[in-house]
Structure 1
Amino acid sequence: MTNIVFVGAGAMAEAIINGLTKEEKISPAFIHVMNKSDDRQLAHLKETYNVQIVCGQKKALTEADIIFLAMKPKDANNALTSLAPYINNKATIISVIAGISIHTITNYLGNRPIARVMPNTSATVGMSASAVCWNELVSEESKLLIINLLESIGTVKAVAEDDLHIVTALSGSGPAYFYFFAEQFESAAVEHGLNKGDARQLFIQTMEGAAQMLKKGDVEPKELRRRVTSPGGTTEAGIEQLMEHQVSEAIFACIHAAQNRSRELGKLFES
């Protein structure tokens, strides 16, 4: 059985642990968690998922097949430095730390199989849109294993490492943009007299339905929009306002700014 160690016990680590145990990918007996603080969270993980808490037990690192780096970026420097002497040569590293490159991780942990993953917070409900990349030392067998593990929290796409910056902007930060739109649509509906609860449920169902239409994949988004937009109708009136207020330009600027910030954060860590 594959021995897994999570270094870090925050929300993303828990989401992955939840997926692995719920989908029975890995027995809780082979999932180990360590964290530099927050005993309450560690106790919660133990009680909820029956995983093994191994803080201070470096032996877990020496016996690990896979090590998930799930600490906060600000803690990564000290954590990687302290972990390096204990990680065995066969272990594959999977990092979910935003902005820290494979090259940088290699500088800390040596030349070994390393993968980087950019999930999003929808991993909590098993609906993450994750992207993964790896170095040349990750075998084809290990790639399949990593993808299989990550599929417990949603869908997975393999990408080039440089593309993780745009993935961070698109799907990593994407849920926040969606929630922002939900806020605005809900507020507008309430301002025009609709009950807040009704507004939210109608918006959710509308988005779920639209997402399913897109997921079918047989019709382009532009055509789906055209089919809803009758000439002279209500949808056209709304679309005209979106165009007038330059929403398209705002979305492009949003994605551009987010991916630029991802690159900046990576450089800050490496410097």
Structure 2
Amino acid sequence: MEGNIGFLGAGAMGEALIRGLVQGRVVPPERILAYDIRRERLQELQQTYGLQAVTGREELVRKADIIILAVKPQNVKEALAGLEVGKGKLVISIIAGITLAGLATYLGEVPVVRVVPNTPALVGEGMTALAANKFVRPEALEEAMAIFRSVGRVMVLPEEQLNAVTGLSGSGPAYIYMLIEALADGGVRQGLTRPVALELAAQTVLGAARMVLATGEHPGVLKDKVTSPAGTTIAGLAVLEDRGMRGAIIRAVEAATLRAESLSKE
């Protein structure tokens, strides 16, 4: 990848991307720039990854060819007001809830990619969805995808589907953490120690997810392969169906999607 990549904001997700870019050798660290209002944070990232710490927003925008907006939603006005980005640059926003139209009110008619990542990107297992405005060239979109491939999987979707992405993969890790906790609690109730139960639960979820992705088979087919007649698994599944697990998860994704739509309007 050619040119410099600049991070406006250097929180946990910003650092995850920096780490992925450096460890994946997508770009050398000297071509990564960062600015954050916390000077000690910049010094920490500079020492850890060897990137360039810049002194302000204007310097970052001037020197970077790709600008990644990684500030908190409540700080977006302060971060973007008066910022002049040339049309030859690419802006990538991971700011939650800020639409392409909303970003245009600050940045004007420049190429912008809106991104919905999730927190497993912090360990290189993220799921990221991208949507681009009409000014983004195909090769620029490929560059944006390459950045997020360094921390997991990537897909491109219409922007109107990003709220559903937020409800599913954005909020989804929290649902899975609750599932892991519940599985571990079940193990503890049956006499396992907490550390043993937690490791069994977490690895089981990880392995099952990898089976879905690696085989390409429908989850229902994989479920049936584990479920023998009158066996242990079908006994457990009957309880989950009786208690409405499937419907509860569907409703959780729906509720989170509706909340994401509400936040975008706000």
TM-score, length basis structure 2? 0.95
Residue-by-residue CA offset, 1:77-135 (whole Å, 9 max, x unaligned): 221114x23x2332111000111110110111010100011111111111111111101
Q: Report what 1:71 is aligned to.
A: 71
Residue 148 of structure 2: aligned partner? 150
d(CA) in 2 for partners of 1:40, 1:176: 30
SS in 2 for 1:58: helix
Deviation at 1:49, TM superposition (A): 0.5
Contact 1:64 1:88 in 2 (8 A): no
**1:7 is the counterpart of 2:8:** yes
Question: What amino acid is the match of 1:138?
Answer: V
Give 2:252's aligned residue.
254
Distance between the aligned counterparts of 2:127 and 2:54, measured in 1?
A: 30
Equivalent pair of 2:130/2:157 in contact (CA under 8 Å): yes
> Which of 168, 180, 183 matches 1:170?
168
Give the Cα–Cα distance (whole angstroms) in 2 for the partners of residues 219 and 99 of structure 1. 33
Which amino acid in the other structure matches residue 219 of structure 2? P
Q: Distance in 1 between matches of 2:86 and 2:208?
A: 47
Partner residue, 1:53: 53
Asked if 2 retains the 8 angstrom alpha-carbon contact of 1:6 and 1:33, the reply is yes
**Displacement after TM superposition at 1:217 (Å):** 3.4
Identity %: 38
Aligned residues of 1:186 and 1:200 also touching (Cα < 8 A): yes
Alpha carbons 2:86, 2:110 under 8 Å: kept? no
Determine the structure 2 residue equivalent to 1:190. Answer: 188
CA distance in 2 between counterparts of 1:125 and 1:5 reads 21
Aligned residues: 265
Is the Cα–Cα contact under 8 Å of residues 4 and 66 in structure 1 kept in the other structure?
yes
- Residue 204, structure 1, aligned to residue 205, structure 2: no
The AA in structure 2 aligned to 1:247 is: M
The answer to whether the 8 A contact 1:9-1:35 is kept is yes
What is aligned with 2:18? 17
Q: What TM-score, normalized by structure 1, do the two folds share?
A: 0.93
Q: What secondary structure does 1:262 align onto?
A: helix
C-alpha separation between the residues in 1 aligned to 2:213 and 2:31? 35
Deviation at 1:54, TM superposition (A): 1.0
SS in 2 for 1:14: helix
CA–CA distance in structure 2, aligned partners of residues 123 and 218 of structure 1: 22
AA matched with 2:204: T
| Paired residues of 2:34 and 2:60 also in contact (CA < 8 A) | no
RMSD, aligned α-carbons? 1.4
Tell me, yes or no, if the aligned pair for 2:8 and 2:60 is still in contact at 8 Å: no
Per the TM alignment, residue 230 of structure 1 is displaced from its structure 2 partner at its CA by 2.0
Superposition pairs for residues 84-123 of structure 1, below 5 Å?
84-85=83-84, 87-123=85-121
Specify which of 224, 231, 234 is matched with residue 232 of structure 2. Answer: 234
Aligned to 2:263: 265
